[in-house]
Homo-oligomer: A and B are copies of this chain.
Amino acid sequence: MRFASDNASGISQPIMEALEAAHADYAMPYGADDYTKAAADALDELFEHECASFFVPTGTAANALALASICQPWGAIFAHHDAHVMDDECGAPEFFTLGAKLIGIAGNNGKIDPAALRSTLTDYPRGLVKQVQPAALTLSQATESGTVYSVKKLTELTGIAHEAGLHVHLDGARFANALLKLKASPAEMSWKAGVDVMSFGATKNGTMMCEAVIFFDPDLAKDFLYRRKRGGHTVSKARFLGAQMLAYLNGGHWLELAGHANAMAARLARGLKQVKGVRLPWPTDVNEVFAVLPGRIDKALSAAGALYYHWPSAALDPGQKLKGGEVFVRLVTSFATRPEDVDRFLEVAQRAR
């Protein structure tokens, strides 16, 4: 009953085997190896686009380096109030951009409200020297609330951004999970929807440590190698990032992994909705279930050894406030979640008094 984080899962068997297969090779360091090249090519094919792709060990590095590539130190980056870059990276975007300002935008379900974006943008007119300059919009797909923007909504938001002269970043830490929800192609959910650069997550979904930064506009990538090196994110034995990514993408493995995680979350959400006193504030679009639990259920689950995080109630939308004794929790499934654990969790919840 381990639902703390998809980061708490291990490495999928095929990816582990790919590391094993690559482990004894001799390969030139710092990315000048065949695995890295092949993985970048695989991303080009997947996204039906000539991309500039780079691999890094962590998602925070991917986000911060991508944002630094599209925002000057005196720039403003617009993000949802609860975005990972706002609250969960200890200021990494500020560090890598060398002091840019992140501006929170409101919106229910973890999604930026287009009207709120438009309105906030009017507060940051270009050329008003006393203020930071509008530079970038960053969207999370899936969002931190476990929800997914439709392609249409993505396109609307990137349109507003481009009209205002911003570049658009997509935080795709759970890109695979979102893609399955939308039944879209990677291209449709990225550059065709107006994304300029994205963080393509793989670690939460079965690799050991590997994320890609993918530029759809290679011009934006011209300084990336220096930024990455300077940030300490140029891995010497880079082949092992490439090998992970290749195995991750090979034969649709990444979508199988995400498919399982999504199915487990759906099973969990379905079950929780049957439990008296439990509310789900947001739809379960991917592999995260957010739930408001009566205190007694929370206690019973903890007593039974279930692992999950209490979540800040500040993240709830207006009108979703907690009532006495209720707690707000996040439950995350992964490629490794077992159906029997979901079912046992639901059983404990059902029986709690």
Query: Which of A's residues lie within 8 Å of B, judged by CB?
Result: 2, 4-5, 7-11, 13, 16, 19-20, 22-30, 56-62, 64-65, 72-74, 87-92, 94-96, 98-102, 123, 129-133, 203-204, 208-209, 223, 225-227, 229-237, 240, 312, 314, 336
Tell me the minimal C-beta distance from A52 to chain B in angstroms: 14
Known A-B contacts A7-B237, A99-B91, A240-B209; the reply to A26 vs B223 at CB < 8 A is no
Whether A87 and B8, one on each chain, are in contact in the complex, defined by CB atoms closer than 8 angstroms, is no
Residues of B within 8 Å of A234, CB to CB, are 58, 60, 129
Residues of B within 8 Å of A29, CB to CB, are 4-5, 7-8
Residue from the list B59, B96, B240, B312 in contact with A236, Cβ < 8 A: B59
Can you pick out 23 interface pairs between chain A and chain B where the beta carbons lie within 8 Å of each other?
A2-B26, A5-B29, A7-B29, A8-B29, A11-B23, A13-B23, A16-B19, A57-B57, A58-B233, A72-B223, A72-B226, A73-B95, A74-B227, A88-B130, A90-B131, A92-B232, A99-B99, A99-B230, A123-B312, A129-B225, A204-B236, A208-B240, A231-B232
Residues of B within 8 Å of A229, CB to CB, are 60, 74, 89-90, 92, 129-130
Residues of B within 8 Å of A336, CB to CB, are 24, 26
Residues of B within 8 Å of A72, CB to CB, are 223, 226
Residues of B within 8 Å of A7, CB to CB, are 29-30, 236-237
For A13, A16, A24, A231, the residue with the greatest tally of chain B CB atoms inside 10 Å of its CB is: A231
Residues of B within 8 Å of A87, CB to CB, are 130-131
Whether B231 and A231, one on each chain, are in contact in the complex, defined by CB atoms closer than 8 angstroms, is yes
Whether B237 and A60, one on each chain, are in contact in the complex, defined by CB atoms closer than 8 angstroms, is no
The residue on B at minimum CB distance from A64 is B232
For A2, A8, A59, A90, the residue with the greatest tally of chain B CB atoms inside 10 Å of its CB is: A90
The residue on B at minimum CB distance from A132 is B91
Per the bound structure, the CA–CA distance linking A101 and B13 in Å amounts to: 41
Per the bound structure, the CA–CA distance linking A337 and B292 in Å amounts to: 58
Whether B232 and A233, one on each chain, are in contact in the complex, defined by CB atoms closer than 8 angstroms, is yes
Per the bound structure, the CA–CA distance linking A8 and B27 in Å amounts to: 5
Whether A132 and B90, one on each chain, are in contact in the complex, defined by CB atoms closer than 8 angstroms, is yes
Residue from the list B8, B24, B57, B60 in contact with A28, Cβ < 8 A: B8
Residues of B within 8 Å of A20, CB to CB, are 16, 20
Residues of B within 8 Å of A208, CB to CB, are 19, 23, 237, 240
Per the bound structure, the CA–CA distance linking A9 and B25 in Å amounts to: 7
Inter-chain pairs besides A7-B236, A10-B25, A73-B230, 5 sampled, C-beta below 8 Å: A62-B232, A72-B223, A74-B223, A74-B230, A94-B101
Per the bound structure, the CA–CA distance linking A332 and B239 in Å amounts to: 19
